[in-house]
Chains A and B, each alone.
Chain A
Amino acid sequence: MAFQEKQVEADGFSIRYWEAGQGRPVVMLDRTGYRGTLLHDALAEQYRVICLELPGTGDSPANAVSKSVGDLAATIAKAADAITTERYTLIGTSFGAHVALWQAIQSPDQVEALILVSSTAIHPQEVPVGASAKDIHKLMFAHPENAEKQAPLPAEIFAKESELVGRLTSGDHDAEVEARLGDIHCPTLAVFGQEDRLVSHEAPRVYREKIPNCNIALVYDAGHCIVGDRPEALRNTVLDYAEHWETFIVGHQTGVINP
C-alpha cells in the first residue's frame, strides 16, 4: 500500500503526515513517524490511515514550543481536525501513545476508539543515564536478532527526540494523565509486549482498572517494539480491535477443520 506524504499546519507547526487507504479514518501517532510496517499496510487496506509525525520527532525540526504532553496532544488534535472532520480511531505507539492518551482526554468528540501500543505514560522504566541510541534500540526488542534487522535511530534524531520527551515528561510516570484516565469513555485497548523492558509490567492493569471500557492485550515473546518482534501478532490484535472494539473478546475465527 503506497502512503502519500503530505503536510498540515497546526499551532505554527508544519506537520508531515502520510496517508493511504479509504474508509473510516484511523490516526496513528508513531514517535518516529511512518515506517511502513505490516500494521500500517494492513490498516490501509480497510481504513483511511493518517500517520502524523509528532513535532520534534523524526525529520521534523526540534520542538521547543510544546510545553507539555497535553499541549502537544492539542496540536495533534488540531492537525487531525484539519485533515478529517470524521471521528477516528486513534492509535499511539510508545511516546505516541502518551500523546494519544492526552488527545483522547482533551478531544473526546474526535476520538472514537483508542489503541495504545507500548504506552510509556504510566510507569515507564528508568532508562540508564547516558544511554545511546544503540543502547535504547537493543532494549526495545525481546530478541537481539530482531534488533539487528532494523537500524537504530540516527544519533541526531535520537538526541532531538530525547530532548523533547525528556523536557515534556522527565522520563517519569505521568500522574496527571493517570488521574484522568477515568475521563476516557471511548473503547480502549492497551497492548504491551510481555518482554517490554521500557515499561513496568504493572502498567497494563492501571489502564484496565481506571479506563471504564478498556481491554488489555499482552503479546507473548515481544518487547517494547512489538512490531519488530511479533509484527503479525500486533497487526492481528490491532485490526481485530479496530473493527470490533470491546467485542473483540468474542471469538470471530472459525474452528472448522473440514466442512
Chain B
Amino acid sequence: MKASYFGQMGYSDRSTFPPTWPTPPGYTDSKTSVQSYQDGMEECEFAEEMSFDWISFSEHHYSGRIPTGTPSVMAAAVAERCKRVTIALLGHLLPLNNPVRIAEEVALLDNITNGRVVAGFLRGTPNEDQVYSVNPAEGRGRLLEGMDLILKALTEPQPFSWEGRYYQFRTVAVWPRPVQRPLPPVIVGTRSDDTIRYAAEHRLGLGVSFLPVEQTEVITDKYRAWCEEAGWTPGPDNIVYRGSIYVAETDELAREWFEGLQKTRPGPNIPLRRTVSEAIQSARAGTDFDLRGLVAGSPEGDVVGNSLGINFLGGPDTVAKQIKEFHDRCGVGVIDLPFQQNMVDHRGVLKELEVFGKNVIPQIREF
C-alpha cells in the first residue's frame, strides 16, 4: 500500500476565519500567506524524505483552508523540490474549467516531472459550483463530457474539432503530449453511480474522500464489479482514499488532541448559508426549491456544512489498523492524507509526518 501526502498549503492563521464561505480575502496577510506556502512546501519535502509515495494537490477556491485554486501551479513548484514522489492532481474540478486547458496543464506537468503525474477529475463540493457561475444542474454533464474531451485531447495525435453539448472547440491539438503513454494515470473522484461506471468502463482509477469505511466499501464494490464487467481488474494504485488524520506517538496523546479540538467547537468545514446550500443541492438533484418558504422557516444567518471529523486517529499501530481496514474491505491501494487539521501548526504537521513515516508507512507497505 502507498501513502500520499495531501499538500493543503493552508493559511496558517486559518483558525481566525469567520464561519462563512467564501472567506473574505481581506483576512489574508501577505507575510503570513507567503510563509504558509513555504511551510507547506517544506512539509511536502519532509513527506518525501519520510518515504511518502505521492504528494497530492486539489483545486479549491475562495478560502485559506486549501488555498490552491490552480493546483497545477502548486504541483509544479513542489515537483521542482521533490524529485522522486508521484505528483497527483486530486484533482481538477472539471465542470468549472476549460477541459482543453486542463489537458494542457496535465501534459505539461507530466513533461516537467518526466512522467510522474497522476491526473484526477471530480465535480467538487457544492460551494465550488459558484466559483465560475456553473449551473449546478449541469455539473455532472460537464464532468462526463470534460473527461471524454481530455482523454481524447491527451491521446489523439492529429488535430480534431469537438462538437460537444457543453464544449465546442474547432481545433484541439495539445502540445506537449504526455510522457506517460497512452496517458498518465487518471483518478475519478466520485460517489455517484454514473461516474463510477464511467471510471470503470474507461479503465480509470477511483478516488473516494472522507466517507466511513462501510460507505466507501459500497462504492468500491460497485467499481470493482463494473471493472470486471468491462474486462479488467483494477490494481492497487487504481483505488485512492482520502481521509483526515491525526497521528501521535500514542493513542492517549491523539485522544487528548481530539478532545481539545472538540472543546474549540470548530465550525463546519464548508460553511454555506443554508439557502445557498439548498439551492445548489436542489439544482444538482433537479428538484424544486422554495426559497421564500425556506427563509420563513430558517434561523437567520444559519450556515450549514460538514461537521469536522477525523477518519484516522490514534498512535501508529492504531492508525495502521484503521488504514488496513480500508485496504482489506475496499481494496484501497493509496491512502491520501491531509495532516493540516485545526489546532495543528507547521511544527505539529512535521512531527506527525515523522511519526507516520517512521512507524506507520513500514506497516502499510506490508498490506
Contact = CB atoms under 8 A, between A and B. Distances in A.
Interface of A: 185, 208-209, 212-213, 244-247, 249-259
B276 A257 contact: no
Contacts of A257: 164-168
Given A213-B273, A247-B279, A250-B276, A258 B300 contact: no
Contact of B291 (A208, A209, A212, A245): A245
Nearest to B163: A258
B166 A251 contact: no
Contacts of A256: 138, 165-166
A249 B300 contact: no
Given A213-B273, A249-B276, A250-B130, A255 B135 contact: yes
Nearest to A252: B135
B166 A255 contact: yes
B159 interface: no
User: DSSP majority for the A interface?
Assistant: loop
A255 B166 CA distance: 6
A246 B276 contact: yes
Contacts of A259: 165
A107 B323 CA distance: 58
B283 A250 contact: yes
Nearest to B141: A256
Contacts of B166: 255-257
Interface residues of B, number: 26
A105 to B, nearest CB: 16
B291 A250 contact: no
B142 interface: yes
Interface string B272-287: 0101100110010000
A246 B291 CA distance: 10
A244 B279 CA distance: 9
B104 interface: no
B61 to A, nearest CB: 13
Interface of B: 24, 129-130, 133-136, 138, 142, 163-168, 273, 275-276, 279-280, 283, 289, 291, 295, 300-301
Contact of A255 (B142, B163, B275, B291): B142
Contacts of A213: 273, 300-301
B141 to A, nearest CB: 8
B301 A212 contact: yes
Nearest to A112: B292
Nearest to A244: B291
A254 B164 contact: no
Given A252-B135, A255-B138, 7 more contacts: A185-B300, A245-B275, A250-B283, A251-B129, A252-B283, A255-B135, A258-B164
Nearest to A250: B279
Nearest to A259: B165
Would you list the 9 A-B pairs with minimal beta carbon distance, nearest first? A247-B279, A251-B135, A251-B133, A250-B279, A251-B134, A249-B130, A257-B168, A247-B276, A255-B166
A216 B283 CA distance: 23
Contacts of B134: 251, 255
A171 B168 CA distance: 52
Given A213-B301, A247-B291, A258-B163, A253 B276 contact: no
Contacts of B129: 250-251
B138 A254 contact: yes
Nearest to B138: A255
A258 B165 CA distance: 5
Nearest to B279: A247
Contacts of A251: 129-130, 133-136
Given A252-B135, A254-B135, A212 B130 contact: no
Contacts of B279: 244, 247, 250
A247 B275 contact: yes
B333 to A, nearest CB: 36
Contacts of B163: 258
21 contacts: A185-B300, A213-B273, A213-B300, A213-B301, A244-B279, A244-B291, A245-B275, A245-B291, A247-B291, A249-B130, A249-B276, A250-B129, A250-B276, A250-B280, A251-B129, A251-B130, A251-B136, A252-B283, A253-B135, A254-B138, A258-B168
